Amino acid sequence: MRDVAIIAAGQTKFARTEWPLIDLLVEGARTAYADNRIDESLIEAVLVANMGAGMLNHQSGVASAVVDGLGLMPAHAELIENGPASGASAVKLAFLGIASGYYDVVMVVGGEKMRAVTGWESTDFVATLTHPFAEYVYGVTLPSMAALFARLYMDKYGITSEHLAMVAIKNHDNGMLNPEAHVQQPITMDGILHRPEAVVNNPIVAEPLRLFDCCPVSDGSAGIILCAAERAKEFTDKPVIIAGVGQATDTLVVHEREDPTDLKAVTLASEQAFKMAGATPADVDVAALHDAFTILEIAESEHAGLFPKGEGHKALERGDTRIGGKMPINPSGGLKARGHPVGATGIAQLVELTKQLRGDAGERQIKNAKTAYACNFGGFGNNVLAFVLKKGQ
């Protein structure tokens, strides 16, 4: 297989937008162009990641519409839907297409327009990724699923609401340094947990998860351009190498797992990615984790091997996961503050890590970042992709 490099990366500001979905996706792709203008005729394929066009936006044929919107015909165009891991899946398929030698240059763009519907409807939309008869019909939503997981995980490892709040506070602080972040609002432990006003400021959504333990519902898109590493220098002086790619699945029904607190797919996908990259979690300088709920950042950090099991919350206490800490996690603000337009998320994670490895992350730059790790968490851990990125030579 050939090595594959990221040669351009960008994202729209995640927020609520009035743009139609296709315009939003085209704009996400253009942000990658803006990052590094590639001769359009060299782009052989456009892979589009999206989860909800049919349900939320009454739109099909999305990839065809995007390639036309970009004027990239006759480039190949495909839509990839893999729930919240759609973005990472699209990148993986582009990676394979280039590594195999079939393509040289591929654009990947992912996006979602979730605010086209009410909050209730978008919550229901995401809930459709649960098992239709074993979970969904009983009223399961992703917040309630995450709450069940959080309660078990907190009891098992001695994690408190303060630890969850620490994740939120850190990621909101990081989001303040990211102009593309949806949420630009610092929060404090007093304001969201300790003061009497916290019952209103930060109400329970699904016990033990509160409002600020949950990511916002966002519109947005992100794009990257990949090419064969051997050609990367034609386009940029600062290529980023996709050194490792991993993926693993688990049971769709969470209660069928031997231990529901064991995110096996995160562990397996991460092990595969690290092995392929010839790296270990100890080599990671910066990580992008799928913190749709605060508890997931802690649990994924442990299952990916960044910290031992049951130690993630202790790392938080020490400040290890902050910018400037030993293992900075989600300097972009993560899903919690940058936002989570589901089809865009896996790509936005790589956009951030690309900026970090190039030294282009501005105020939130992690010093001397050379190796980065990303985890895009599909379903409730039933389809997970992991990447290890390295700074190109």
Partner 1 sequence: MNELEATLRPKETDQPPYPPKRVVLANGESMIVRQATRDEVPKLLETLEPLIWVERDYYDIVGVRAFAELLGWKRYRVKDEYCLVGVMDGMLVGLVNGRSLSKNIGISLHTLALRRGLRIGAHLFAAKMEHHIEYLNQKEVYVVAESPIGFRRWMIEYSLEERPHVAHELGGVMSYALTRPLYFASKDRLVVGERPVSEEMLASTEDFEIPDPELLVTQVSGKAK
Least Å from the CB of residue 17 to partner 1: 5
Instruction: Yes or no: say if 269 and 239 are a contact pair by the CB < 8 Å rule.
Output: no
Distances 307 to 33, 193, 222, 302, 311 between C-alpha atoms, Å: 37, 26, 29, 5, 6
Within residues 34-53, the interface with partner 1 by CB under 8 A covers: none
Judged by CB under 8 A, which of 2, 15, 20, 96 binds partner 1? 15
Instruction: Yes or no: say if 83 and 265 are a contact pair by the CB < 8 Å rule.
Output: no
> Is 202 a binder of partner 1 (CB under 8 A)?
yes
**Residue for token digits 């162009």?**
33
Question: Which of residues 220 and 223 has its CB atom nearest to partner 1 in the complex?
Answer: 220
Is the N-terminal amide bond of 239 cis, ω within 30° of 0? no
Query: What's phi and psi for 383, nearest 5 deg?
Result: -155, 100
Judged by CB under 8 A, which of 61, 101, 158, 186 binds partner 1? 186
Q: Select the span of 46-54, 100-108, 188-196, 372-380 touching partner 1 (CB under 8 A).
A: 188-196
Number of residues that bind partner 1 (CB under 8 A): 29
Distances 377 to 248, 290, 314 between C-alpha atoms, Å: 10, 6, 23
Q: Select the span of 16-24, 241-249, 310-318, 361-369 touching partner 1 (CB under 8 A).
A: 16-24
State the Cα–Cα distance between residues 248 and 243, nearest whole angstrom.
17
Within residues 134-173, the interface with partner 1 by CB under 8 A covers: none
> Is 201 a binder of partner 1 (CB under 8 A)?
yes
> Is 18 a binder of partner 1 (CB under 8 A)?
yes
Helix (H) or strand (E) holding 351: helix 342-358
Least Å from the CB of residue 388 to partner 1: 31
Least Å from the CB of residue 381 to partner 1: 29
Least Å from the CB of residue 32 to partner 1: 17
**Residue for token digits 């459709």?**
128
Helices (H), 131-256: 142-157, 161-175, 189, 198-201
Least Å from the CB of residue 194 to partner 1: 10
> Is 195 a binder of partner 1 (CB under 8 A)?
yes
Pairing of strands 383-391, 371-378: antiparallel
Judged by CB under 8 A, which of 1, 73, 137, 199 binds partner 1? 199
Question: From the CA atom positions of the chain, what is the Rg in Å?
Answer: 19
Q: Based on the number of CB atoms within 10 Å of its own CB, is 110 exposed (0-12), middle (13-18) or buried (19 or more)? A: buried
Distances 139 to 128, 142, 207 between C-alpha atoms, Å: 10, 10, 15
State the Cα–Cα distance between residues 258 and 304, nearest whole angstrom.
19
Judged by CB under 8 A, which of 59, 188, 261, 365 binds partner 1? 188
Question: Which of residues 85 and 166 has its CB atom nearest to partner 1 in the complex?
Answer: 166
Question: Which of residues 131 and 163 has its CB atom nearest to partner 1 in the complex?
Answer: 163
Q: Select the span of 44-52, 189-197, 259-267, 383-391 touching partner 1 (CB under 8 A).
A: 189-197
Q: Select the span of 12-20, 51-59, 241-249, 357-365 touching partner 1 (CB under 8 A).
A: 12-20
Q: 178 in helix, strand or coil?
A: coil
Question: Which of residues 158 and 186 has its CB atom nearest to partner 1 in the complex?
Answer: 186
Instruction: Yes or no: say if 34 and 9 are a contact pair by the CB < 8 Å rule.
Output: no
**Residue for token digits 């969201």?**
192
> Is 16 a binder of partner 1 (CB under 8 A)?
yes
Within residues 55-114, the interface with partner 1 by CB under 8 A covers: none
Judged by CB under 8 A, which of 187, 228, 265, 366 binds partner 1? 187
> Is 203 a binder of partner 1 (CB under 8 A)?
yes
Least Å from the CB of residue 319 to partner 1: 19
CA dihedral 188, 149, 123, 169 (to 10 degrees): 10
State the Cα–Cα distance between residues 48 and 202, nearest whole angstrom.
36
Q: 165 in helix, strand or coil?
A: helix
Question: Which of residues 30 and 76 has its CB atom nearest to partner 1 in the complex?
Answer: 30
Within residues 220-249, the interface with partner 1 by CB under 8 A covers: 220
Q: Select the span of 17-25, 139-147, 301-309, 312-320 touching partner 1 (CB under 8 A).
A: 17-25
Residues of this chain that bind partner 1 (CB under 8 A): 12-19, 118, 183, 185-188, 190-192, 195-203, 212, 219-220
